[in-house]
């Protein structure tokens, strides 16, 4: 078989296997052809990239769980005139039941509920 025929045959073999999601058996000639195309170097390069990405993700997880600087805007600098916020968080409003519950507590105990 010529190199061109071998490439066509291998391409067909790989394509069918990927389409049907099944394994294939590679012959020694198939492996030689893949090696001549530089496949081992490409696989090694992809592996190195995947390992780098995993290491970066692990580092980011460690930084975020340890409270370190993550590079986000909030961790880079403090806002000017920061004030402590009392009461409900970021735009939320207490439910209707909260004020009526407080009123009932005042009636029962004769004083302010959260004092």
- Could you read off the pLDDT of 10-44 as tens digits, one per residue? 999 999 999 999 999 999 999 999 999 999 999 99
The pLDDT of residue 114? 52
pTM of this prediction exceeds 0.75: no
Arithmetic mean of pLDDT over the chain: 78
Of the listed ranges 24-38, 66-80, 88-102, the one predicted with least confidence: 66-80
The pLDDT of residue 97? 56
Centre a 10 Å sphere on the Cβ of residue 101 and count the other Cβ atoms it contains: 13
The residue written with tokens 């580092």 in the block is 59
Give the tokens for residue 72. Answer: 């986000």
Integer Cα distance of 40 and 38 in angstroms = 6
The residue written with tokens 């939320």 in the block is 92
């Amino acid at each position: 078989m010529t190199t061109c025929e071998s490439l066509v045959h291998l391409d067909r073999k790989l394509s069918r296997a990927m389409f049907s999601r099944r394994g294939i058996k590679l012959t020694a000639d198939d492996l030689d052809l893949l090696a001549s195309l530089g496949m081992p170097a490409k696989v090694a390069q992809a592996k190195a990239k995947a390992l780098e990405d995993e290491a970066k993700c692990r580092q980011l997880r460690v930084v975020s769980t340890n409270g370190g600087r993550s590079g986000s805007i909030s961790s880079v600098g403090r806002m000017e005139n920061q004030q402590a916020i009392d009461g409900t968080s970021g735009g939320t409003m207490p439910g209707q039941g909260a004020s009526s519950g407080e009123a009932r507590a005042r009636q029962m105990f004769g004083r302010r509920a959260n004092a």
